[in-house]
Structure formats: C-alpha cells, structure tokens
Amino acid sequence: MPTVSVGRDRLLAAIGRTYTQEEFEALCFEFGIELDDVTTEKAIIRKEKHLEDDSEVDEDDEVIYKIEVAANRYDLLCLEGLARALRVFTGTEASPVFQVSSIPRGSMLQMHVKPETSKIRPYIVCAVLRGVTFDEARYNSFIDLQDKLHQNICRKRTLVAIGTHDLDTLQGPFSYEALPPNEINFVPLKQEKSFRADKLMEFYKSDMKLKKFLHIIENSPVYPVIYDSNRTVLSLPPIINGAHSAITLATRNVFIECTATDLTKANIVLNTMGYHVL
C-alpha cells in the first residue's frame, strides 16, 4: 500500500488539534490507516546521503510521520487530503461539497480534441482552479501528489498523465492534437532551448526520471500535444510540460489537463487534484 511522508507538526496543525504519538496511532487505526514509521528530516537526509555523523547535516530536525494508506484512497496521498479526511472523521468538519461550474458556449476555456488523438491517447479531461494560493510547502505537496498519482492509479503514466499549468500565461481556447514528432517544437520544462519532439526523446534517454516514460509514445508515428490558441505548447503528454506555463509560487489560477487511455481513471485523477488544491 502507498506510504505518505508528512511533517508531524504541519499535519497536526492542519487537523486542528494536538495528539501524542500514541493518540495519533489510535486515530489512524480507527480511521483505517497506519502510522508506519516515525523518523526525522535529518535521518532521512543522512540515509539518502549515506552519512554517519549527524553534524554533517544542518537541516532542522523535523519529525516526519510515514503513514500507510489504502491503495484506493487517492485523496489521502498528500497532507492536505489526509488532514481533511481526519477532520471529517473526527467530526470537526463537515464533508466537503464542491460545485463544478459549467463552461458557457463561446468560452475561451474550451478544449478542442482532434480525431487523430484516438491513435495514441484518446481521452482528455480538464479543469480550472481559481484563486489558488501556494506557499513552498503547499507547492511541494502539490507536485508530490502528482508524482504519487502517476505511480499509483496512473500506472506510471500509461493510463493517465497529469499536466498542471499557470492559466494566466496561456490564451484559450485550447486544442489536443496528435502530430508527427518532427512537427512539434517547444521549450520543455526546466530547459531554455527549443527541441523538436523526436530530438527531445533522444535528449531524455539519459534523464533518470523521464527515460522510463519514453516507451509509451516514442514508437508512435504521432505524438499527443496540447496547444493554446497562440500555438504555445502546454505539454507533450505523458512526457513533459512546456516551460512557458510552468507553475510557480506566484500562480493563482491553475489549469489541469489529464490525458488518458482510461477515461474513468482520468476523471478520478482530475477530481483528486482539484480536491487537493481546494
């Protein structure tokens, strides 16, 4: 089952009350999850860096709870979702009710899907989240949630791939297309130069994180790609987003797109991402 690592103090603050470790273990048991391990930020760093001497690490000694959650509870894969679920369980908060606003006819927030996408990755679902506020911890949690979803329900991006963007850097309406790789050019996330899509695949073969996803599309005659109305590339799913629409701490309006081979799982992932931010 998936394990979520969260700072103890941040988690308890988000729940809204203080628990001893024994009390929190009991709460987890009642709720149906398990406090699997208690460690510290220093201990994690020492383990990652293979350090013996505590003095070699300067980070604050934050207590970390490692919590094992059910494999089908995707809403618990981040601190925010976990805290909200425990608040509801303990009766300090009512179950949340979210209202989805429909897109009016003629809206710039439309996604036009080209029929060629059926050859490679046939489904796409999208949402806009307005008035979001990120601090560093919440931003990191947001990114970590995407990674956990990609590893679990998304089956390492084969079933679903998530793209998140700063909406205010883009101009709708949007289009989801499938084009020959030599016709796609853009600057990918964390890069400064433009790549043609087929050359980008070669570039990422040495990338420890991304190379394991290349096989999903690299042998296809067409690659999936998402554009805004200015032909700015949002993403080349399921590989990489474009640099232009990268989310930062200053982002206030988030555009989420999930491309998929499984529509049901795409909707679950989209709802989970929205649940986290809201």
Domains of the chain: 3-89 (3.30.56.10), 111-277 (3.50.40.10)
Whether the Cβ atoms of residue 236 and residue 200 lie closer than 8 Å to each other: yes
What is the Rg, in whole angstroms, of the alpha carbon atoms belonging to the chain? 20
For 239-254, the pLDDT digits (tens) are 999 999 999 999 999 9
For 159-207, the pLDDT digits (tens) are 999 999 999 999 999 999 999 999 999 999 999 999 999 999 999 999 9
- The tokens describing 260, both together, are 């998929």
Upstream peptide bond of 238 is cis (omega within 30 degrees of 0): yes
Name residues whose C-beta falls within 8 Å of residue 18's C-beta, 6 or more positions apart in sequence.
12
CA distance 37 to 18: 18
Residue 88 pLDDT level (bands cut at 50, 70, 90): very high
Average pLDDT over residues 152-161: 97
- The tokens describing 275, both together, are 């649940």
For 96-151, the pLDDT digits (tens) are 887 777 778 778 899 999 999 999 999 999 999 999 999 998 999 999 999 999 99
C-alpha distances (whole Å) from 83 to each of 75, 156, 203, 263 are 10, 26, 40, 28
Per-residue pLDDT, 50: 60
CA distance 166 to 170: 7
Residue type, 189: L
User: What SS3 class is residue 3?
Assistant: strand
User: What does pTM read for this prediction?
Assistant: 0.88
């203080």: which residue's tokens?
18
For 49-83, the pLDDT digits (tens) are 666 655 554 556 889 999 999 999 999 999 999 99
Q: Angle, to 10 degrees, between the axis of helix 79-89 and the axis of helix 21-31? A: 80
Name residues whose C-beta falls within 8 Å of residue 201's C-beta, 6 or more positions apart in sequence.
181, 214, 218, 239
Per-residue pLDDT, 53: 56
For residues 129, 133, 135 and 138, what is the CA-based torsion angle, rounded to 10 degrees?
Answer: -40
Per-residue pLDDT, 57: 47
Q: What does the buried/exposed string (b/e) look like for 212-242 if buried means 16 or more CB atoms within 10 Å of the residue's CB? A: ebbebbbeeebbbbbbbeeebbbbbbbbbbb
